[in-house]
Structure formats: C-alpha cells, structure tokens
Amino acid sequence: MIFRGTFEHALDAKHRLTVPAKFRAPLAAGVVVAASQEASKSSPRSVSIWTPSAYEEFTRQSLSGLNPSSPEARELKRFFFNASFDTELDSANRVMIPPPLMRYANLEKDVIVTGSGECIEVWDRTAYESYRDDVLTRIPDIAASLGNTS
C-alpha cells in the first residue's frame, strides 16, 4: 500500500497515536516505529511508522553496497536499528510512540500524520506547518533540479 494524505491528530497522555482509519489495514499485522531520516539538516525531525517488511526493505536498500566495516555504514546501521521499535496496534487502533522517539522528533500532544509513500510520518504540528510552507515555495526548484542530468 502507498500511504497518502495529511491528518491532524493528538497524542494521548500515554503517547499513543490513533492511526487514521485508511492506514489501519496494512498495519494490522505489526508495525515498526522509527526515527525518520530527514532530508536536510534544516528539516524538522519526525517519527516514521512502517510495516515490518517495508522497513526491512528500506534498510536493506539503504545499506546495500556499503562496506559493512566502514564507520559510516556502522553509524547508519546503528541509526536504523537502535532508533526503531517493533510493536502492534492495540485494540483501539493506537500505536505508542516510545519516549526516545518522542524526544527525537520533539513531539508533544498536537501532531500531523502524513502519508509518505511506503510509510507514515508523525510530526510536531507547528514544525510540520512551517516545514510544509517552506517546501511548497521550493517545489518548482526542487522539481526542476531533478530533471537536470548534467
């Protein structure tokens, strides 16, 4: 499944997110909650929610071709596996965001949940709105740069 859409949500007192209804079916067999690898140093951090198979494929592709003994590969591997947690949706279709990931993404109560293709991302609402406004002004330049093959 490709995850699409943007939803305003709130975390409860136990840091649980009610997963939007349209995303629940693919996540029913389990989820991986992980620190999201951001696009740039200025991007706000977010938390990603993956199906286990999609996260395994993403990490495999990200690490393939790297010398497993190199310091960079070891750091990237640690990032992927130290900052990810296997869990399940509870009976109310909620997923708990672990405290380390709450701190990583500066999440409080009000969040934005976005479909991001192969995963879902959970953002601090204020940080996301600022980021979205910035990205929307840059989309023409980003799109144009991707077409440049020189």
**DSSP characters for 32-98?**
EEEEPPPSSTTSPP-EEEE-HHHHHHHHHHHHTTS-TTSHHHHHHHHHHHHTEEEE---TTSEEEPP
Exposed, middle or buried by CB within 10 Å (0-12, 13-18, 19+), for 146? exposed
pLDDT at 17: 97
Q: Which CATH number fits domain 6-146: 3.30.70.1280, 3.40.1550.20, 3.30.70.20, 2.60.40.10?
A: 3.40.1550.20
> What are the boundaries of each domain within the chain?
6-146
pLDDT at 140: 84
What is the biggest distance separating any 2 CA atoms in the chain, rounded to whole angstroms?
52
pLDDT at 133: 83
pLDDT at 145: 83
Distances (CA, A) of 56 to 6, 31, 68, 84, 115: 24, 11, 17, 11, 18
- Residue among 10, 33, 143, 135 at smallest CA distance from 83: 33
pLDDT at 149: 55
In this structure, what DSSP letter does residue 14 have? T
CA–CA gap between residue 91 and residue 117 (Å, rounded): 25
pLDDT < 50: residue spans in the chain: none
pLDDT at 42: 76
Contact 45, 122 (CB under 8 A): no
| pTM given for the model | 0.88
pLDDT at 31: 97
pLDDT at 39: 66
